[in-house]
Amino acid sequence: MSIREDIRAGLEKDPATLSGFELFWTSPGLHAVWAYRFAHKLWKAKRRILARMVSNYAKFWTGIEIHPGAQIGRRLVIDHGVGVVIGETAVIGDDVLIYHGVTLGGRTLDPVKRHPTVGDRVIVGAGAKLIGNITIGNDCRVGANAVVTKDMPAGTVAVGVNARLVNVTGDDYYLI
């Protein structure tokens, strides 16, 4: 995981940003991910209060809350970002794109895996809520404001409140 890799991923997924210099200095999503990485190292080193302090500082400056206990892969891009919440036991794969207002939240207060697992190359639309210990397969798409409470097989699209999965074949959409 490198700064250059993060900047390249951001430029690929954000057509409104014109240069790496601009992204480096102005992207709250990028800053939140970098702060998370530092906080996560502290979390793994059992410096949990300090990790939570770093996380809260980043939340104050970016509007993005990533728990330091979450596990995040490479090249995560958080576009616009304000209102994104990623819970403690969430797992996010590589090359994921998350828009503003997204929640990866829990359904229980029990000390178990209670947040979603998101596969590689997933796009999560603005305002979407992924709730509980569910798995979002590789190459899935979650529509804006969808509420997903069940597993999504790889390559599916979820839309709506209590989201429905749709099969996508060319330009045709089929509910499953």
Greater model confidence, 151 or 175? 151
Tens-place pLDDT, residues 40-55: 999 999 999 999 999 9
pLDDT tens-place string over residues 86-127: 999 999 999 999 999 999 999 999 999 999 999 999 999 999
SS3 content of the chain, % helix, strand, coil (to 5): 30, 25, 45
As assigned by CATH, the class of the 3-175 domain is: mainly beta
pTM of the model: 0.90
Q: Which two tokens stand for residue 114?
A: 């209670």
Domain ranges of the chain: 3-175
Q: Which of 6-10, 42-46, 90-94, 161-165 has the lowest mean pLDDT?
A: 161-165
pLDDT at res. 72: 98
